[in-house]
Amino acid sequence: MSPSEYPVAVVQMTSTPDVERNLEAAERLVRRAHEAGAQLVVLPECFAYLGPDSGQRAVAECLPDGGEILARCGALAAATGTELVLGGFWERAAEGDRVRNACVHLGADGQLRSIYRKIHLFDVKLADGTVLEESATVEAGEETVVTETLFGPLGLSVCYDLRFPELYRRLVDDGAVALAIPAAFTLQTGKDHWHVLLRARAIESQCYVLAAAQTGHHFGRRVSYGHALIADPWGCVLAECGEGEGFALARIRPDEVTRVRAQVPSLRHRRL
């Protein structure tokens, strides 16, 4: 492996209301990805808890100090020497009963590096009768975040953010060479939009895309599409998960970002 290549992985899992089961699955998959060579691993949205909205507050932790969940994740990062992106971490809001849907970056030493709070909240009624109203329990974030990783600047986002390209323009303007897009995309929307949107964000941003994903049945009528993947700055899918839990592994080459941006200098040609 070249010194300028950095193996990274995105995890695909089926989280449920059972926090202990979810954490055990996350730890197992991170360790497997580490054994395969990954130096940075992205976990999906809601990795520790994916259940009724009424249960979010009970598992939410105050950041930056955290609680048992953050401590376990930090210990895992330190034990494996692997940077972790906790794709959707339930954080207690400062006031009231709401929570925040946070994307947390932990260094390979287990220490907290950055926190992004999901800006765009998913309120929708799907054709199959599924009703999701994230804003009823979640407090939206306001600030974009680019964090420094072993391979360079990584822009943080969560799930529904994917549909708002202006967010990723801001992340690119702030130096991002890769974009973390951990998600719990619904089956209904994912089958038509997941691949198209992820590849579009990679192409227009000329960045690597690291899209961890939830898959399968979680509780009630909640089912996720899966297909965790890594795409390169040209929009090609380098690695993708199949059915069930697992991870996708690929190598990030920062010089490839430079090459693509020189070959098609669209970021320099912006007028608006």
Residue 45 is among the residues annotated as catalytic for this protein: yes
Helix 68-80 / helix 19-35 crossing angle, nearest 10 deg? 10
Q: Choosing from 45, 83, 139, 256, which is the catalytic residue?
A: 45
Residue 159 is among the residues annotated as catalytic for this protein: yes
Q: Choosing from 46, 73, 103, 159, which is the catalytic residue?
A: 159
Residue 125 is among the residues annotated as catalytic for this protein: no
Q: Choosing from 73, 118, 207, 240, which is the catalytic residue?
A: 118
Rounded to the nearest 10 degrees, how much is the dihedral formed by the CA atoms of 18, 20, 22, 24? -150
Identify the residue whose tokens are 């822009």.
155
For 53, half-sphere exposure in the C-beta direction (CA atoms, 13 angstrom radius) is 16
**Checking DSSP bridges between strand 152-156 and strand 178-180, what pairing results, if any?**
parallel
How many beta carbons lie within 10 A of that of residue 160, not counting itself? 22
DSSP string covering 11-55: EEE---S-HHHHHHHHHHHHHHHHHTT-SEEEEPTTSS--S-GGG
Q: Are 176 and 237 in contact (CB under 8 A)?
A: no
| Helix, strand, coil percent values for the chain (each to nearest 5) | 30, 30, 40
C-alpha–C-alpha distance, residues 88 and 49, integer Å: 9
Q: Are 99 and 57 in contact (CB under 8 A)?
A: yes
Q: Which residues are catalytic?
A: 45, 118, 159
